[in-house]
């Protein structure tokens, strides 16, 4: 099977916002407790944070981390997580039917974020609460001093403000599972008024308004049209969420599902453009894809807790998907979609970072380890920063029940910040290699400087605390001759090739 790609230095999409490679830590399952925070762990520092986890987060180089939710935020009182730990209340978390100790709150998470080298992306509760609590939280976090909430922050041990720039106006407010679900008009009004109040407090912040929780929602895409009609000039981003599954046990169809992501992005980009025209606005709104991942492996094992049959456990294992090799290919294609639409998708948060549908897993009291999906996320974050190239792909195709003509070859390309030209390839053909020919128009990079491939594994192969067999190796057979890159992509493979001068 042969496929061609055309890349030219003069045909670009946009600069890639580094925040495209962000992630997410929610008070859910073991994401926080025995995830990032485990005071009794052998690697724990003086503040109780697992150093082995911090090291893996630094390896990926996660630019932003969304916190504290997620569904959790829609019934969360942020004030529960400040002040002396011994005085903090235990609350029942209605989102995940668990108990929350509030041992980790904004101070602790901010300390962890600094250690891990990531910026905070904070969410306010617009489910059970509203405008006043949001502005108070912002004042506590960002105001330098001389006001009630900023002085309380100082009394609680943090003199300088954290100066958080990116704020989410609630979470998935279209969802019937959400505490405080609202109609689009109800949410649009409160989001606009909250945005207005928060900007009055701090004009430097960026705001993310809730879009659809999924393209499967009955209100999609009318939800975005209504919400943006209320909020367009008051916000900077509209959030989208999407998760991928293979419940049908059809791996070829599963690997084609990223085309649904492309359609989702295209549709909301059109809604944004239409709203801008309707408002006659000079303001630009972009997409924050602040929840995305594969999520289906753990669905059955989670039911007892989520249905309330286990009482109100503290930090139980929840949403602990163990990812396989097929998920490597899926995550690689998702990141390719984001890179190709860097003109409109500026922020991305892989959900989540540790233990909960995550690339990093931990054993309580034991090791931290890399899931299979760690690697495409790692390579995107490390080498996918720069200018997205507007490439053309000519490839044989396959059909599914949801789309026709899906290309077996999925790819993206980046003129990277370090001067290299980086290609990300996924061969979605499960049985045949792809003989690849890439035309490099206008580029003078002429030698392979890095070539990593993940291939040759059973689609159900996984990693675990006792070993990480599904991992990249050095690629072979790639050459650059007379302005053309040639390589053979093995069946069912992920590959990153970097070309330098």
Instruction: Output b/e per residue, 330-356; b: 16+ Cβ within 10 A.
Output: bbbbbbbbbbbbbbbbbbbbbbbbbbb
Q: Name the CA radius of gyration of the chain, rounded.
A: 23
Measured CA to CA, the distance from residue 51 to residue 225 in angstroms comes to 44
Strand 368-370, strand 360-362: pairing: antiparallel
Q: Give the burial class of 442: count Cβ atoms within 10 A of its Cβ; 0-12 exposed, 13-18 middle, 19 or more buried.
A: exposed
Measured CA to CA, the distance from residue 236 to residue 54 in angstroms comes to 30
- Decide: helix, strand or coil at residue 235: coil
Catalytic-role residue among 172, 224, 320, 455? 172
Measured CA to CA, the distance from residue 314 to residue 438 in angstroms comes to 52
Measured CA to CA, the distance from residue 244 to residue 265 in angstroms comes to 15
Distances (CA, A) of 323 to 78, 314, 327: 33, 24, 6
Measured CA to CA, the distance from residue 364 to residue 19 in angstroms comes to 30
In the annotation, is 172 catalytic?
A: yes
Q: Which residues contact 181 (CB under 8 A, 6 or more apart)?
A: 127, 173, 174, 175
Q: Which residues contact 183 (CB under 8 A, 6 or more apart)?
A: none
Measured CA to CA, the distance from residue 488 to residue 91 in angstroms comes to 55
The candidate with the shortest Cα–Cα distance to 97, out of 303, 296, 300, 292, is 303
The 3-class SS string of 355-417 reads CCCCCEEECCCCCEEECCCHHHHHHHHHHCCEEEECCEEECCEECCCCCCCEECEEEEEEEEC
Could you tell me how many residues make up the chain? 501
Distance, CA of 308 to chain centre: 28
Catalytic-role residue among 38, 291, 320, 455? 291
CA angle 382, 386, 392 (to 5 degrees): 105
In the annotation, is 193 catalytic?
A: no
Contacts 24+ apart (CB under 8 A), 59-62: 59/378, 60/21, 60/23, 60/359, 60/374, 60/377, 60/378, 60/381, 60/382, 61/21, 61/117, 61/381, 61/382, 62/21, 62/22, 62/23, 62/116, 62/117, 62/118, 62/353, 62/381
The 3-class SS string of 215-227 reads CCCCCCCHHHHHH
Catalytically active residues, by annotation: 172, 291
């Amino acid at each position: 099977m042969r496929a061609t790609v055309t890349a030219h230095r003069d045909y670009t999409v946009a600069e890639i916002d580094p925040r495209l490679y962000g992630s997410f830590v929610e008070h859910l399952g073991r994401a926080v407790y025995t995830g990032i925070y485990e005071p009794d762990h052998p690697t724990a520092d003086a503040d109780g944070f697992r150093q082995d986890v911090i090291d893996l987060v630094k390896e990926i180089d996660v630019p932003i981390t969304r916190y504290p939710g997620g569904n959790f935020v829609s019934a969360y009182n942020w004030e529960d997580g400040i002040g002396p730990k011994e005085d903090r209340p235990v609350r029942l978390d209605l989102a995940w039917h668990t108990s929350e100790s509030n041992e980790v709150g904004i101070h602790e998470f901010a300390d962890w974020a600094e250690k891990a080298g990531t910026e905070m992306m904070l969410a306010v509760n617009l489910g059970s609460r509203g405008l006043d609590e949001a502005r108070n939280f912002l004042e506590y976090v960002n105001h330098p001093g001389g006001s009630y909430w900023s002085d309380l922050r100082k009394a609680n041990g943090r003199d300088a403000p954290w100066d958080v720039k990116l704020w989410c106006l609630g979470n998935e407010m279209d969802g019937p599972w959400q505490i405080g679900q609202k109609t689009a008009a109800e949410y649009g009004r409160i989001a606009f008024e909250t945005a207005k109040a928060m900007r009055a407090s701090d004009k430097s912040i960026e705001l993310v308004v809730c879009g659809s929780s999924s393209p499967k929602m009955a209100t999609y895409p009318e939800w975005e049209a209504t919400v943006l009609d209320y909020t367009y000039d008051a916000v900077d981003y509209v959030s989208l969420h999407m998760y991928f599954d293979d419940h049908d046990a059809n791996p070829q169809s599963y690997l084609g599902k990223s085309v649904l992501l492309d359609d989702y992005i295209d549709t909301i980009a059109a809604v944004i453009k239409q709203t801008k025209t309707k408002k006659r606005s000079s303001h630009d709104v972009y997409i924050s894809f602040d929840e995305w991942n594969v999520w289906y492996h753990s669905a059955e094992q989670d039911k007892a807790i989520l249905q309330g049959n286990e009482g109100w456990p503290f930090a139980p294992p929840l949403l602990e998907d163990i990812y396989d090799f097929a998920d490597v290919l899926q995550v690689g294609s998702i990141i390719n979609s984001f890179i190709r639409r860097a003109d409109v998708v500026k922020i991305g948060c892989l959900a989540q970072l540790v233990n909960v549908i995550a690339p990093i897993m931990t054993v309580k009291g034991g090791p931290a380890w890399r899931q299979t999906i760690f690697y495409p996320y790692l390579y995107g974050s490390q080498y996918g920063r720069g200018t997205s190239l507007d490439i053309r792909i000519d490839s044989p195709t396959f059909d599914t029940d949801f789309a026709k003509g899906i290309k077996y070859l999925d790819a993206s390309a980046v003129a990277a910040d370090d001067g290299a030209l980086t290609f990300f390839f996924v061969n979605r053909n499960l049985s045949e290699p792809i003989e690849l020919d890439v035309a490099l128009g206008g580029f003078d990079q002429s030698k392979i400087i890095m070539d990593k491939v993940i291939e040759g594994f059973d689609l159900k192969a996984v990693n675990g605390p006792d070993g990480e067999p599904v991992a990249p190796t050095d690629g072979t057979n790639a050459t650059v001759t007379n302005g053309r890159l040639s390589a053979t992509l093995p069946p069912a493979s992920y590959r990153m090739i970097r070309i330098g001068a």
